[in-house]
A and B are shown apart, each in its own frame.
Chain A
Amino acid sequence: MEITTLHYLVVAAALFIVGTIGVLTRRNVVIILMSIELILNAVNLNLVAFSRLYGLHGQVFSIFVITDAAAEAAVGLGILIAFFRNKETVNADEIDLLKF
């Protein structure tokens, strides 16, 4: 069976759903951040799959998405380290203070 663009979109949708479940249901903040990376990768796959039909703009945009994901992961993990130093936990349910 020929592999059409729809096949790639289905894979991207599956990754997106798995990432969403991870963000909504896990308590460990590091795993939540990793699930966000999964969502971003699903979006990238969509962009690159469509760029085969419509031009290289999709690939350029996906490079920007990867760059943004790197910046966001760095800042998110920095926040997590700063919080961990104060409260010794990475449980999302226990991160409930507005001020220490």
Chain B
Amino acid sequence: MTTIENMSDFLNYLNSNLTPGQAGAYLWVVIYILIIFAAVSVAVIAMNWLERKILAHMQVRLGPMRVGPHGLLQPFADALKLLLKEDIIPTGADKLVFWMAPVVVVITAFTTYIVIPFGPTHAVTDMNIGILFMLGVASLGTLGIIMAGWASNSHYPLLGSLRSSAQMVSYEVAMGMAIVSAVLMTSLSGTGLYGIGPGGGEALGTLSMIEIVKAQANQHVWFIFKFFPLGFAAFGIFAIAMVAETNRAPFDLPEAESELTAGFHTEYSGFRWSLFFLAEYAAMIAVSAIAVTLWLGGWLRPFPHWLSGDAWDMAFSFFPALTFFILAGMTFRTTIRMPKQSYFKIQKAGLGVFGLVLGGIGLVLLVPPVRDRIQDIYWFTIKVAAFMYLYIWYRGTFPRYRFDQLMKLGWKFMIPAGIAVLIVTALVGVL
């Protein structure tokens, strides 16, 4: 047993076409999990800054501008502040449950990332019951919220947590209906928008996330467009239900500051609050990943079948680098337009360095070996990023739903609509 043998065994996995779970390469599983953890943390930090800036620009103001060039270091300052705050536990609070609630919420939010497919082999593992597992673990987050509200020994958190968990449980049913109608579409074998085209792969219904995207590839159509407008209706139901599931605007009555003094996380300060915040954003990214996988074709590039061939593949493979070059260009333009006083010099320099880093990443993505490998991950990430922008857009646009209006919408509109879409999809699929 020499280290050289183990090393080549270890690197051998990269040549196989399996996920680490299937290949039995456990060290790679750990590496993937660490990469996902780091990526999600970076995404949450970026989301924090993006949310404040985009919301501010939508409200015709500027947002954080001081802490770094254009507020780029604001999330780090926030994180530092939260870490250094005093950890307060209310008297009479149940210490064990008070401690456990943020832990439960964070663990369930991060466990869903095991089955998210960033590419045909880029998932930590490909469970046979992938989508069922994600739905189940997402419903475990409700428990953490109930525990948080109860353990705080105060009536605002209790009310907020009961409202929040009632809302989450109601919209889970609607999410389930929409998911079932998408899973149903995987079991069809025709290709094209209405399933009457030629070709296509085998008709095998499946719950596995990677197989669902492969079914979309086989049927040459993203499920959002399949049986138009049924796929779109199911996608719409899921898109609304997922916003309600993660307690975001316009369904954020349980945690809005003006309503219930921050709801279930009122009594949490410092690091514990940041855990709730981290879990909320991680859950947002996870349910967006479900929506992208089930309806928007996962890692497939646009038009993989109509515009196929090596030339189109090469053209689409420049998109990652192009995105980073555009971002770098915007950064340089902002750098040039910064005010000319002397005390802005360091911010200007910092922004310039940031622009150079973005340009450097873009250049790295132009290298052919990287260009081939980064395709799937890039398209998946871009689609999830579009959903994140939609979340922020909703927050800036819609007024808040009152709680009884929210529950009425969930039970009296979403669930019947979901069942109707499911039945009609099944009928159209059979005919």
Are A and B direct contacts in the complex by CB distance below 8 Å?
no
Q: Write the residues of chain B forming the contact surface with A, with a CB cutoff of 8 angstroms.
A: none
